[in-house]
Amino acid sequence: MSVNTDIKPSVSPEDAEKAEKIKEEANQCFRKQDYNKAIDLYTKAIELNPNVAVYYGNRSISYLKTECFGYALNDASKSIELDKTYLKGYYRRAGAHMSLGKFKLALRDYEAVTKAKPNDRDAKEKYTECNKIVRQMAFERAIRVDDTKKSIADSINLENMAIEDEYNGPKLEDGKVTLEFMQHLMKTYKEQGKLHRKYAYKILLDVKQLFMSQPSLVEITIPDDSKFTVCGDIHGQFYDLMNIFNLNGLPSPTNPYLFNGDFVDRGSFSVECIFTLFGFKLLYPEHFFMSRGNHESQTMNQMYGFEGEVKAKYTAQMSELFTEVYNWLPLAHCLNGRILVMHGGLFSRDDVTLEEIKEIDRNRQPPEEGLMCELLWSDPQPQVGRAPSKRGVGVQFGPDVTKKFLELNGLDYVIRSHEVKNEGYEVAHDGKCITVFSAPNYCDTMGNKGAFIVLKGKDMKPQYTTYEAVPHPNVKPMAYANSLLSLIC
């Protein structure tokens, strides 16, 4: 029998008692869905008594709720280190691994729980579901052909798709998107109708060709007397997307937009969001822009609902076609040579140039490191320098990193998205790093406002509009997500 030689810090009875009280207060905050406050309180409890596995386990689930998967992983591992029999620690760590697409590592943790509790139905279900994903991925790797030219897009036969007589939804005119089509489409979606699959496939095939013609970094010119709107994450919240257009006007040649990634997942109207956005891209290709987010990827879509939603509303084949389209989304946009807009953030090295970003080979799933990964996943931090990402992917970068990057590339500031903010936006790094997040009351739980930014070509100064969430039909977020994530959102 092995003996644990780790010496735990001694804690006075008074501190242990205080820590317990603070933990109870943190639990109350968690139940009220005030996860950031819960994290602060669990941290105080840990500072008073660092020997209790439950404190780390509870902070881990709070980090999972706020999408800090790297921190959640560390806390779950610490809870297991303190108490090998603390099964919730294994669940938490599995949840963090799942959120990052590390299915094999998650499977190990679920396996540990099933061994400890062989008759536990919940543990058995989670192990079985995770094992299914691991086996499916192994099967897909085994049958994948080396011929990279073979694509789903090439196998779509629109001619064979009949349009039923009873279909009364929007119709493309001579195969083209028109303003009338878009107005009919949005009305149909508001009434919970559906776009015919033939038109849906046509939009996907056409928008793929359009994105393929663009570089990884798109340069946009905004005339002096024109306005330009930048929106952050939408995350399948279609009715809030419609509210943006109500507040700020429909996209048009005189009202251009850039949507900065994470159009889908979590919210359960992602199909409606993405076809609306792709439709406007086809209608106004020079005045409507879309950046790739970290959720425009196969792993995220598999876990957070988009894949399940597409399969429920259309077909598995269409889900695969979406993956191909997302691989061609541009990674960043440069506005008037003065502002860089990307979904995530800056880089793990100081010498990155706009030219290097433009040359990124983006037609693939996001890698786990490098420029493409960091553009999609990184976050700013208030401290100088860099730190490992709280998400477990990308980096955290300080104001000095932002300053150097802007000076090297002759830019004024950066706009990014990727993080929930209470007011819908946040200005950091001495005004040089702006976050905009456009999904209010994210996941129907966070209580945050949404925001968008309007710029005028003449001065490029950001003007912020914030708004509250609007009602939506009674379909909850994550309705199509993988059941293994039920603990997380």
Angle at 53 between CA 107 and CA 394, to 5 degrees: 55
Of 320, 325, 328, 318, residue with least CA distance to 361: 328
Neighbours of 166 (CB within 10 A): 5
**Contacts for 478 with CB less than 8 Å, ≥ 6 apart:** 266, 268, 304, 305, 443, 485, 486, 489
What one-character DSSP code corresponds to residue 359? Answer: T
**For residue 449, what is the DSSP state?**
P
Q: What angle do CA 368, 318, 135 make, to 5 degrees?
A: 55
Q: How far apart are CA 262 and CA 450, in angstroms?
A: 14
In this structure, what token pair is assigned to residue 468?
């509250």
Query: Residue length, the chain?
Result: 489
Task: Centre a 10 Å sphere on the Cβ of residue 377 and count the other Cβ atoms it contains.
Answer: 22
User: What is the residue-wise DSSP string for 57-107?
Assistant: HHHHHHHHHTT-HHHHHHHHHHHHHH-TT-HHHHHHHHHHHHHTT-HHHHH
Buried b (16+ CB within 10 A) or exposed e, 72-89: bbbbbbbbbebbeebbbb
β-strand pairing of 332-335 with 217-220: parallel
97 is catalytic: no
> DSSP code of 176?
B
Task: Give how far Cα 137 sits from Cα of 130, 133, 141, 311, 366, Å.
Answer: 11, 6, 6, 18, 16
* Gyration radius from the chain CA atoms: 23
Cα 21 to chain center, whole Å?
35
Closest CA to 426 of 400, 395, 453: 453
Q: Are 331 and 342 in contact (CB under 8 A)?
A: yes
Q: Which of 287, 295, 333, 343 is catalytic?
A: 295
What is the token pair recorded at 50?
A: 């660092």
Question: Hey, which residues are catalytic here?
Answer: 295
